[in-house]
Structure formats: C-alpha cells, structure tokens
Amino acid sequence: MKEFLYTKGKRKYIFCADSKGAELLYNFVQQAMEDKVPFDFMIIGDKSDAFLEHWYSQQKMGTFLYLSGQWEFIKRLKKLALEAGFSEYEMQINIVGQISKKLVCCECYGVNEFIDDDLHLTCKHCGIVLEVSSHYSRRLEAYLGYTSIS
C-alpha cells in the first residue's frame, strides 16, 4: 500500500476516521489549518449510509479524501465514496489493525474470516480444511476456499 502522507495543494480536504484511526489524522488537520485550506474532520460513530452518501455527494471536484480506521470501516466508507463519484486517485486510506477478508467454503458455501497470511483454514460451518485462493467474487464479496484431497 502507498504511504499515508499529506498531499499539499488540494482544493479541500475531508478527514474521516473511526475511533481507532483518528489520532493519525491530527497532524494532517494541523497542516490544513496552517495552509488555510478548507477541510472537514469527522469521526464517524454510527452515522448511517444515507448520511454519508449525502455528505459525500455535497463535495465539489478537487476535494481530497483521507480515511483512517479499521478494515470494516474503511471498506464501508471507501465503497460509499466510490459510489458518490470519488476516484481511487482522490483518496488515501490507512488501515488500523489487521485486514480480515472473507472466504467462501466450496462445499457448504459458509463464509469464514481470514487474514492475509493465512494459507489454510478450517471451515467453521462444516469442518473441512480450505485452501485460501485469490479467486474473488464481487457478488459474494469473498474469496474462494478450495478443498484438497490430501
């Protein structure tokens, strides 16, 4: 992942964090204040998707977005931002803690959580051993777990 850095010269900044990710943004907020550039700083507690959608869609071209927080939070806010018209180039993200991903069991379709270093895991629904693959379904938002015969 790219280094999480403050990029100067944007028209406006949005700083968005969950409670775990906020601290990392304080320096950036400071910087924006010194540069006298407009910004919003928000710690998102239980704001609804509808609220965020509305807020994102109010932003003008040239607005730059920083997201900092745990994986689930980042996934949700990034998805909403992309839907509201932000591109990957107009945002930076910082993930706090581990990235947990989903793995679908090829035998029972049960969903399991895994982290990046896992190569194998035992399906918590049916008990078979699954090999983690890079085959990804956007419909299921999950990777495919293959069984092996050995």
Partner 1 sequence: MISHFSLPYPFSDSNVYKYSNNAALLHTKNAIELTDRYLDEISLKRELLTKHPERCYHSSPHTMAAQWEIVDLIINNLVTYYPDKFELEKKDGQWIFSNLLTKETASFKFGDRTTLEIEPLDFIGRHVQEDLILMMQRDGDLILDAGQLCFPANWSLYFNSEMNFKEIHSPIPGFQSDFLVDRILQFLMRIEAGTPWERKNWSLMAGSRLDSSLETFSEWGQARKRVTKENAGELVHFRVEVQKLFRLPKSNGILFTIHSHMLSLEKFIQHTPWLEQFYAILRELPKAIYDYKGISLYREQVLDYLEAELKKR
- Does 108 help bind Zn ion (rule: CB under 5 A)? yes
List phi, psi (to 5°) of 71. Answer: -50, -50
Q: Is 94 exposed, middle or buried (0-12, 13-18, 19+ CB in 10 A)?
A: middle
For partner 1, which stretch binds (CB under 8 A), given 27-35, 37-45, 67-75, 99-107? 99-107
Burial code of 117-142, b = ≥16 C-beta within 10 A, e = fewer?
eeeebebeeeeeebebeeeeeeeeeb
* Distance in Å, CB of 131 to partner 1, minimum: 11
Of 90, 107, 118, 131, the one binding partner 1 by CB under 8 A: 107
Instruction: Using the minimum distance from each CB to partner 1, give the nearer residue, 98 or 147.
Output: 147
* Distance in Å, CB of 103 to Zn ion, minimum: 10
Biggest CA–CA distance in the chain, Å, is: 63
* Distance in Å, CB of 114 to Zn ion, minimum: 13
Give residue 61's identity as a one-letter amino acid code: M
Q: By the criterion CB under 8 A, which residues form the site for partner 1?
A: 104, 106-107, 109, 128, 133-140, 144, 146-147, 149
